[in-house]
Amino acid sequence: MKNVAVIMAGGKGERFWPMSTKDKPKQFLNLVDSERSMLQLTVDRVLPLVDIEDIYIVTNIGYKDLIFEQLPNINSKNVLFEPIGKNTAPCIGFATAVIKKRYGNANIIVLSSDSMITNNKLFLENLRTALLCCNNKNIVTLGIVPSRVETGYGYIKLGDKLEQDNVYVVDKFVEKPSYDLAKQYYESQMFLWNSGMFVWENETMYGQLKNNLPSISNGVDSIMKSVDTNNFDRTVSDAFDSFESISIDYGVLEHCNDILVVPCNCGWDDVGSWLAVERLRNKDINSNVSEGNVFLLDSCNNVVINDDDKLLISTLGLENYVVVKNKGVILIMNKDNVADIKNVQKEINKTKYKKFI
């Protein structure tokens, strides 16, 4: 059976403003690699298992030019444009419909376009294990072995271990915990981070959508019938108008029995904020991360990024800050406020400065 990859690339990347903007969000930026964007790295990573003609990108129509600029070898018919973002269940349902029409059934690898993996070899081994498991009509998720106490991710509790090496039944999915609870999860070694990476047969997901999300399933059916016809764009638009905004986790996975999980220790990071850049880039002797014309004196534990080669950013006595200069915008914030960066954009959007968002 064919291996097909579905890469979700419609996010706005608001937590990486001002480098990530509505015109060029983080999946199109070289955040962790000097030459390749997050999206390009995701495609590169899966190519050993999936032919380029079997890679599908689900994204926003506003990113059309960026997609084809960064992925010139992608089949244009494999780029699926959502008329409006409505979370991961409609996104995955959209891809499920197109793949069902073109392939019938296939092994589907679902990835996000804005995660980082440092050990690609181990990641591919984990994917191969998951692909073997999904042929028994199982939904398989890749769970990340925690490397720290983390409150920003959902968790997966391990159930029984299968005879197959490194495969477990999912006991349950757990919401983002408090710090004390996350510490318990970490110390117990019975919980994994929920990475949002999945493997299943297309027909398996098609059936699960029908059983658990009939309102979305009806739209998926109509899209499937219209694939590669003149009515496709109109049908997709009508279907998305009717879709509820819901994640695949809430809409499907939490209602399924016997979901399997493959624990992964492949250096995964969701690159969700400027703190992830700090984790993934090299630091100087004072634990600063810097890029561009930057001079740091008596400063420690900072992230300072400067995109202007005619400008110098200098700090003195600065500690625990993020400073980013990008295309006419300078952001200065304490690391403790990283989670609130969306509030800055929301408030600026009410002012005469909204053009900078």
Asked if omega into 18 is within 30° of 0 (cis), the reply is yes
Q: Residue 240's pLDDT is what?
A: 96
141 with 197: CB under 8 angstroms?
A: yes
pLDDT along the chain (357 residues), means of 10: 96 87 90 89 97 97 95 96 94 97 96 93 96 90 95 93 89 93 96 96 95 93 96 96 94 90 94 86 94 96 95 97 94 92 91 89
List alpha helices for the chain, DSSP H.
38-46, 64-70, 88-103, 120-134, 179-188, 202-212, 214-226, 232-242, 248-251, 274-280, 341-348
pLDDT at 96: 97
What pLDDT sits at residue 135? 82
Q: Quote the pLDDT of residue 272.
A: 84
Residue 278 DSSP SS3: helix
Q: Is 328 helix (H, G, I), strand (E, B) or coil?
A: coil
* Residues 291 and 277 sit within 8 Å (Cβ to Cβ): no
Two structure tokens written together for 46: 């899966």
Helix axes 88-103, 202-212, angle to 10 degrees: 130
Q: 165: buried, middle or exposed (CB in 10 Å: 19+, 13-18, 0-12)?
A: exposed
